[in-house]
C-alpha cells in the first residue's frame, strides 16, 4: 500500500485532478476520490485526507466561482499551486470506429473546450457528466460501443481505451490552475513569494484603488483579482487577490499598510509560485 500523503480530489482516479496531484506531489500518494469539491473539503476537515487539490481557474472557462466560496467557508490554508496543461482526447473501446459513434460524454467544461470539434459532427449527442475519467471508466465497465469519452491519457491507460482522436480542444494553450489546500500552515515551505488574500473595502469612491496603489508603489505584482458579492449584502464584495513579490520586506510593509483600508482581511495562504505549465 502507498505510504505517501492522502490527497482528496474531485472525481475519480485518472481525472485531471489526480494528474495535477501527481504533478505536485509525485506518484507516491494515496488518492481520496470525492464526488464534489465540497466533499473534498469535508474529508480534509475530518482529517480523512492530508491535502485537497482544487481547480480554481481555467484559461478558457475562467474562474470556478463556487470554489472561492468553499475557500472562504472552510478557511483552509493554500500551501501551493500547480498549473496543468489540459490536453483532451477522444477515446473508445478497442475496435470502435469513429463513424459508429452516437454519443460523447464528459464534464461540461471539457465539452465546452472542444465545441469547435463537435460542431463538425452534429449527429453526435453530447451527454454531460460530473467527471472526465468517470466517463472513460463507464465505457469500460459497460462495454459501450457507441460512446466516446473526452478525457486525458491517464484515463485511456487506466481503463484500457483507444485514443481515436488526439488534442481535440479548441485552444491548444489550455491550462487549469489548481490550489493545494491543507488544514494548517505549511511550516516546511522556505521559498515564499506568492500569496492569496481576501478582503472587503468601504463602499466609497477610490476605496479599492487605494489598496491596489499600495501594492503598486511597493512593487507587489497582482496576478489575479476576483470579486464575489457578500451574501445578503447589497453593493458589498469580497475581493480575492493573488500577489507576487521579489522582496519579502516590501510584502510585509504592503500588508501592514493595506490593513488600514480594508475589513475582514484574510491571508488565505503564502506559498511558492509554481506557474510552469
State the pLDDT confidence band at 109, using cuts at 50, 70 and 90: confident
Q: Provide the 8-state DSSP code for 147.
A: E
Could you tell me how many residues make up the chain?
277
Residue 84: exposed, middle, or buried by beta-carbon count in 10 A (0-12, 13-18, 19+)?
Answer: buried
Rg (CA), the chain: 21
CB 44 within 8 A of CB 77: no
- pLDDT at position 188, please? 67
CA-nearest of 98, 5, 1 to 48 is 5
Q: How far apart are the first and last CA of the chain?
A: 30
Cell 483600508, residue located: 261
State the pLDDT confidence band at 250, using cuts at 50, 70 and 90: very high
* Segment 246-251 long-range contacts (CB within 8 Å, at least 24 positions apart): 246/193, 246/219, 247/219, 248/192, 248/193, 250/218, 250/219, 250/220, 251/195, 251/218, 251/220
Q: Averaged over 20-39, what is the pLDDT? A: 96
What does pLDDT average to over the chain?
Answer: 94
Q: Averaged over 12-37, what is the pLDDT? A: 96
Q: Averaged over 141-154, what is the pLDDT? A: 97
- pLDDT at position 275, please? 86
Cβ-based neighbour number of residue 169 at 10 Å: 21
**58, β-bridge pairs:** 62, 176
What does the pLDDT look like over 202-240, one tens digit per residue?
A: 878 888 999 999 999 999 999 999 999 988 888 889 999
Sign for the CA dihedral angle at 255, 256, 260, 265 comes to: positive
What does the pLDDT look like over 158-214, one tens digit per residue?
A: 999 999 999 999 988 889 999 999 998 766 667 899 999 999 998 788 889 999 999
- pLDDT at position 2, please? 59
What does the pLDDT look like over 35-80, one tens digit per residue?
A: 999 999 999 999 999 999 999 998 888 899 999 999 999 999 999 9
Q: Domains in the chain, start-ordered, CATH in brackets?
A: 6-85+174-182 (3.40.190.10), 89-165 (3.40.190.10), 194-271 (3.30.70.260)
H helices then E strands: how many in the chain?
A: 9, 15
Amino acid at each position: 500500500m502507498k505510504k505517501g500523503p492522502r490527497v482528496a480530489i474531485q472525481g475519480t482516479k485518472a481525472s485531471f485532478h489526480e494528474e495535477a496531484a501527481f504533478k505536485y506531489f509525485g506518484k507516491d500518494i494515496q488518492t481520496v476520490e470525492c464526488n464534489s469539491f465540497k466533499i473534498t473539503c469535508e474529508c480534509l476537515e475530518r482529517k480523512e485526507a492530508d491535502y485537497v487539490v482544487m481547480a480554481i481557474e481555467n484559461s478558457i472557462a475562467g474562474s470556478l466561482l463556487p470554489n472561492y466560496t468553499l475557500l472562504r467557508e472552510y478557511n483552509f490554508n493554500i500551501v501551493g499551486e500547480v498549473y496543468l496543461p489540459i490536453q483532451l482526447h477522444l477515446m473508445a473501446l478497442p475496435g470502435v470506429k469513429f463513424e459508429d459513434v452516437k454519443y460523447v460524454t464528459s464534464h461540461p467544461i471539457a465539452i465546452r473546450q472542444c465545441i469547435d470539434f463537435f460542431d463538425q459532427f452534429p449527429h453526435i449527442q453530447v451527454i454531460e457528466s460530473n467527471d472526465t475519467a468517470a466517463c472513460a471508466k463507464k465505457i469500460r465497465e459497460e462495454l459501450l460501443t457507441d460512446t466516446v469519452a473526452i478525457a486525458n491519457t491517464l484515463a485511456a491507460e487506466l481503463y484500457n481505451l483507444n485514443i481515436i482522436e488526439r488534442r481535440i480542444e479548441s485552444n491548444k494553450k489550455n491550462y487549469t490552475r489548481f490550489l493545494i489546500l491543507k488544514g494548517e500552515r505549511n511550516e516546511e515551505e522556505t521559498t515564499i513569494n506568492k500569496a492569496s488574500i481576501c478582503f472587503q473595502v468601504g463602499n466609497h469612491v477610490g476605496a479599492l484603488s487605494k489598496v491596489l496603489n499600495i501594492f503598486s508603489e511597493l512593487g507587489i505584482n497582482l496576478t489575479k483579482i476576483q470579486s464575489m458579492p457578500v451574501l445578503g449584502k447589497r453593493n458589498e464584495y469580497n475581493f480575492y487577490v493573488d500577489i507576487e513579490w521579489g522582496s519579502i520586506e516590501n510584502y510585509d510593509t504592503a500588508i501592514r499598510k493595506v490593513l488600514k483600508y480594508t475589513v475582514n482581511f484574510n491571508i488565505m495562504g503564502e506559498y511558492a509560485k509554481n506557474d510552469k505549465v
